[in-house]
Structure 1
Amino acid sequence: MNEAPVLPLSSEPVDRLSGPAGDALIAAISKAHAVVEAETRALREQASLDLRAFEHRKSQALLELTRASRGLLPAGVESLRGTPVAEELGHLREALDANMTLLAKHLDAVREIAEVISRAMLEAESDGTYSERLAGWRP
């Protein structure tokens, strides 16, 4: 019987997360977390904000996170349990959940406003207020 030898489970993937590469990954996660928190804070404070700028910052943070994680993260997250990376990812997940909830509320509000405006425009058109004949326009 030529069976492949059974190798003991190694902690190598987690070991790769220590040192400069692991520090870079944690820094990238922290940066993404900070961007998401900043957007969430601005939404909560109803400050005038440029969502495109936040979209760009989040895209950049995701790119950095993807680059920093290449070759470092194991196939399964189970081996990350209890590591600083897992802790940072947990914080990021919580921030993303809060951000997504708040963005959904804002999107619902925008939909409601758009519906009100749309209804008002339809009603204004249907009552003849803006008809060509009443405005004095003749071909």
Structure 2
Amino acid sequence: MDEPLAAVATPFDTGASTALSATLDGWTDPDGSTPIEILALLKAIARLEQVVDQETQSLRAGETPAFEDLNYRKSHGLLELTRAMRLVDPLSIGDDLRDRLESFREQLERNRMLLKTHLDATREISAILTAAISDAESDGTYAPPQRLWTRPQ
């Protein structure tokens, strides 16, 4: 089966151009071209890495990222990655691409852990605020009685 080829001389996004260019060097055919399926997949991975990295850096800095924008960009990137993966023959995936995907998976796991920590902290703060508001609004009429003693066992 003949594969369509694309020249590597295509312009890249500014944030991921260096990493992507280095990755593409291993995928060039003898004539200096890269299969378009591999090019599309690598570009999708690079764009997603950039978004995930931006979110991770923001969380590490203690900032609240623009979750709506990042969520949109990650969803769009996931769609792009899914479409690119469908074009690549699984039998043609070499060790370089497997390593790249594994590295991306590790980056996603680090991001997931930071997001989990952020979400857990948000839930804890929410519970504290809810309890404080409830205590401030309550006059104790409907609160369960406080026991001053415990039953012997």
Higher relative contact order (CA 8 A, sep 6+): 1
Residue 65 of structure 1, CA deviation: 0.6
SS of structure 2 residue aligned to 1:46: coil
* 1:57 partner amino acid: R
Q: 1:73 to 1:33 in 2, by over 3 A?
A: farther
Matched, 1:56 2:72: yes
For residue 119 of structure 1, what is the aligned residue in structure 2?
131
Q: Which letter maps to 2:73?
A: R
Q: In the alignment, is the contact (CA less than 8 A) between 1:30 and 1:88 conserved in 2? A: no
Amino acid in structure 2 at the alignment position of 1:55: N
Q: Which residue of 2 is the match for residue 87 of structure 1? A: 99
TM-score, length of structure 2 as denominator length: 0.64
- Cα deviation, 1:46-85, whole Å, max 9, x if unaligned, reads 22421111100100110111111113142x8xx7451x32
1:110 alignment partner AA = T
Q: 1:32, 1:20 → 2: CA distance?
A: 18
Q: Distance in 1 between matches of 2:124 and 2:82?
A: 36
Contact 2:52-2:111 within 8 A present in 1 as well: yes
Select which of 76, 80, 85 maps to 1:69.
85
What is the distance in 1 between the residues matched to 2:120 and 2:47? 28
Q: Considering only aligned residues, what root-mean-square deviation do their CA atoms show, in Å?
A: 2.0
| 1:90, distance to aligned residue in structure 2 (A) | 1.1
Give 5+ residue unaligned stretches, structure 2: 1-33, 141-153
* 1:10-25 superposed matches below 5 A: 19-25=35-41
Verify the 8 A CA contact 2:56 2:111 in the aligned structure 1: yes
Moved over 4 A (4+): none
Task: Give the 3-state SS of the residue equivalent to 2:56 in structure 1.
Answer: helix
Report if the CA contact (8 A) 2:37-2:87 is conserved: no
1:127, CA displacement in angstroms? 2.6
Task: Flag the structure with larger Rg.
Answer: 1
Q: Offset of 1:119 from its aligned partner? A: 0.4
Equivalent pairs: percent with the same residue? 40
Relative to structure 1, is the Cα distance of residues 59 and 73 closer, same or farther in structure 2, using a 3 angstrom cutoff?
Answer: farther
8 A contact 1:31–1:61 mirrored in 2:
yes
